[in-house]
Amino acid sequence: MSYLKPGDKVFYLRALIGFIVGVLSALLSGLRTVPFPLTWALAITLASVVYYVTYRAFRRAFRGKMRKRDIMVTGIEAYIFLWLFSWTLFYTVWRYWLP
């Protein structure tokens, strides 16, 4: 990945992290011991916390290479889209195949 620009690295890492958090959100949503609306709240909170933590980590890793604002907004749409996509996909598949 050394041939990628810092902005590209942030974008692709955010997309990958969004996908992983979506899978974790699907697992949280599948919990049967917790009321369904609470699992949604937990999944949304998880996504928000992970985004903030990765922002802080990227800010430290790319200090001097990117502005703070660029680190904050780069890849946010990929993160949100892949998070929602993977959450919906895996929740649907797991609910269908695993009764």
pLDDT confidence of residue 95 = 79
* Tokens of residue 71, six digits: 């680190």
Distances (CA, A) of 38 to 31, 64, 65: 10, 40, 40
Residue 52 burial (C-beta neighbours within 10 Å; 0-12, 13-18, 19+): exposed
pLDDT tier at 85, thresholds 50, 70, 90: very high
Place of tokens 């929740």: 91
* pLDDT tens digits, one per residue of 21-75: 999 999 988 887 888 889 899 999 999 999 999 999 999 999 999 999 999 999 9
Helix (H) or strand (E) run with residue 63 in it: none
Record the pTM: 0.90
